[in-house]
Structure 1
């Protein structure tokens, strides 16, 4: 008996099998960046959760934990195999970001080990941020969600915490001034240093604490 020639149906099944093996709905990515010559770090987190740990090294490290979610009318979870962190350097500024369309149907958790640089800017569209910051001028902007941030009292100068809709807290600062409107709240006060810190959330809660304790040094993966 002659062997049967492969059919188009059989070829299609084989191709689907190969694609399925190449796809992944969960992944962990690691990135390391030298901060030689870098004075400013900017991180755009889009959607997800982020934890930031102080580091005493001269390298910024990022761990991204990605998990695809199910979409309507699709049996499997979203493929995350092509999602990578984008990095650009302009002058003395290092910028890290994920494309907005990459984070659709994906749960993203950032773990950042951040040394002290002259300026730090953190932007998150929707999610939660928990972090500790050392000797840096900090701007943190969260669109919707919750922030829980610890700063070093001896380094912080004027610190402002604000919420467009929601609540803003500032603990451990001196000479505090609170402003409360119908749905918004802002509070500012002072540490014992000179670093300006501005932390805001559009809708949600922003909690800021000035601490006398030393920051916990990040433990690398």
Structure 2
């Protein structure tokens, strides 16, 4: 608006419709829950929809607020180290994280934010759990793959040396088993307008349990 650029005059909900990769909405939400990224759902500047040769695709960008904040400090380390193990009660973490999501949007009539609303309105449950596939992939992440990924982060982005990278890996190794619980809670709380009621159904085959 400040630079005189064209603005979207239709609603975010309709703007998110008719993309060729609608499955990305469930994946984006799951990824943000995995990485404790509280910034996406209410930030209208980190989702992009391209339009090339009449092919509209949605992409997520800007992950600077992953792991609860954009800063590497004692509060962030304390949060990441407090995540429960797979055999521990996840409810305290789930409640804390969901509260952080609500605080980050600060929009009482749209609790989880404009972007979350636009995405969730285009997630449908008639053909089964739309999060099942991405959760299976997330829970199958191996520590060596996570290590290879974080080792590609440019060194100028890292202020905490190897401790920071180790903390990222350890956090995701635990967080990957909590995403389905976070989704269960969001579904239970009515965060998805196209919900069919009841509970989310999760497949039990081809899913690895336990820290790898």
| Shorter-chain TM band | under 0.3
- TM-score, normalization by structure 2: 0.28
- TM-score, normalization by structure 1: 0.27
Give the structure with the higher percent strand: 1
Give the structure with the higher percent helix: 2
- Structure with more relative contact order (C-alpha pairs < 8 Å, separation 6 or more): 2
